Amino acid sequence: MANVLIIDDDKGMCFTLSAIVRQQGHDVTCAYTLEDGLKEAASIDYDLVLLDVQLSDGNGLHVLPQIRAMPSQPEIIIITGQGDPDGAELAIKNGAWDYIEKPASIKDMTLPFIRALQYRDKKQSV
């Protein structure tokens, strides 16, 4: 079972993503601001962070390296309502697993989530 953190100011999106994560058998926590998300990410070891770009208190891409540097070194999937090819490239270069534009289908959200956790499991078992 993985620990997943969702950082997104859209409570409806958090609810939907939380349901997907729980359906896969994992624990999930939501944070609605970058500040709360960073505090939460530092409080326990997360395996995966789903990170929005545009939040009320800043840009998620700016904290991506900080989250990657947490002791648990979580995998990160960027979720955004404002697709930007440059932002996607920047996210991937800074260690994001994937960059998903909202609205996305459940399949489009679930597959990268599953693959990121499989990759993490393999990486940790080596």
State the CATH number of the domain containing residue 79: 3.40.50.2300
Model confidence at 102, in pLDDT bands (50, 70, 90)?
confident
pLDDT at 85: 65
Quote the pTM value.
0.89
- 86 pLDDT above the threshold of 80: no
Residue with the bigger pLDDT between 118 and 32: it is 32
> How many domains does one find in the chain?
1
Residue 110 to residue 113: CA distance in whole angstroms: 5
Domain with 92 in it: 3-125
Model confidence at 113, in pLDDT bands (50, 70, 90)?
confident
Strands 58-59 and 54-55: antiparallel
Query: For residue 119, which of 85, 84, 74, 88 has the smallest C-alpha distance?
Result: 74
